[in-house]
Amino acid sequence: MAVYLDIDLDFLVKPIRKESINNVRMYKYEECSVDNVDEFIELLKSKGLLNSKDKKFFTNHKKSYTYWWIKRLMDNTLIHIDAHSDLYRNKNRNLTLLRDTDMGCDDYIWFAIRDGFISKIIWVIPDGLYDLSEADLAKKFIPEDMILDYRYEENQLKIKFEVDTRIGNRVIEYCICNLLHLPAFENIEMMTVATSPEFTSESCDKEMMRALTFLGASEDEITRIMKLHKEMPHKL
């Protein structure tokens, strides 16, 4: 068992967009703001999250699954720092019915659970996104017929849900908290970072590229990602 850190830099961007079109930058010319990048990086450091030597940087968040598939490590803990859960669309507890060709940036974590790569998820949400003490909030994130138990304690919403996977019936631990209440970790096996331009404006790009620098991206990687941002069309 290892710990994977999976970051979507739209975590830092306001407003939080709920809809997107793959490879289309529909919010390209709209106003947005970016949270303090320096404070974000310092918080990550304080939680021991930046010690991985294996770092991957890209635009579409579903590529995280590709790198987990290459490693083929099983039963890992996923720290998912994102404004979105990326556990959308699927309503069926039988994950073996998922087809790889249907995978998107909004549901790729279901596929990682299906294949046994992920058995525990800690979703780190932006401050104020949800009131985690709200009654029955768990049912907003996971289909009710999958949920075994949920409770709010220690500033976290803790959910257990059951699914059928390629390696049998599994109970998945799912914790939701903000970054301040995330516990510290000693070893991160791999860090994956997505920029998700489909959800952001070009006015955010400068700060997002600065965040990539602090996270360890090379100049060549940043140049490549910035090129993809600029070339992504505003409309279909």
Model confidence over 133-182: pLDDT tens digits? Answer: 999 999 999 999 999 999 999 999 999 999 999 999 999 999 999 999 99
Single-letter code of the amino acid located at 27: Y
**DSSP, res 177:** E
- What does pLDDT average to over the chain? 97
Confirm whether pTM is higher than 0.75.
yes
Which tokens go with 77?
């803990």
Q: Helices (DSSP H) in 56-188: which residue ranges?
A: 63-71, 108-114, 138-141
Burial class (CB in 10 A: 0-12, 13-18, 19+), 228: middle
Q: What is the pLDDT of residues 59-68, one digit of tens each?
A: 999 999 999 9
Which tokens go with 68?
């987990």
3-state secondary structure of 106: coil
Distance CA 8, CA 192 (A): 8
Check residue 236 and give its pLDDT: 74
Q: What is the pLDDT of residues 97-145, one digit of tens each?
A: 999 999 999 999 999 999 999 999 999 999 999 999 999 999 999 999 9
